[in-house]
Amino acid sequence: MSMTVLTVDDSRTMREMLRLALTDVGYRVVQAEDGVHGLEVLAHETPDVIVTDINMPRMDGFGFIEEVRSDPEHRRIPILVLTTESDAEKKNRARMAGATGWIVKPFNPVKLVDAIRRVAA
């Protein structure tokens, strides 16, 4: 059975690149445009992994991760943050919020899949 990945990013381009990279390896992809939307999707999907951007309108990555981690039904879902910023401060903040791991943009599809493999069964 293939894994379901939820990707959350406000950039259409990024969403499409993620979808391409993930479906290439057989994952099922569901998408959201920002944190609020991501939570809405989680109301009826239980992905195996979440990949989320940090800078988004309405609710950013930090807020989204915190929300997910505080939801008993979803808090065990591994979350990878996707960001162009390799700023240690941002990474730490993500980790404090509960991020499982990270992927640096521009992402290498191979590294993306590896990162997912490291956190999801």
HSE toward the beta carbon, residue 73, CA cutoff 13 A: 7
Residue with smaller CB distance to another protein, 6 or 112? 112
108: contact with another protein by CB under 8 A: yes
Which one, 64 or 107, has the nearer CB to another protein?
A: 107
Order of strands, edge to edge, in the sheet holding 79-83? 28-32, 4-8, 49-53, 79-83, 101-104
- Minimum distance, C-beta of residue 101 to another protein, in the bound complex (Å): 3
Give the residue, chosen from 6, 7, 8, 37, that forms a contact with another protein under the rule CB under 8 A: 37
List the beta bridge partners of residue 29.
5
List the one residue from 3, 45, 66, 104 that touches another protein (CB under 8 A).
104
Near another protein by CB under 8 A: residue from 6, 8, 21, 42 = 21
* Shortest distance, position 58 Cβ to another protein, whole Å: 5
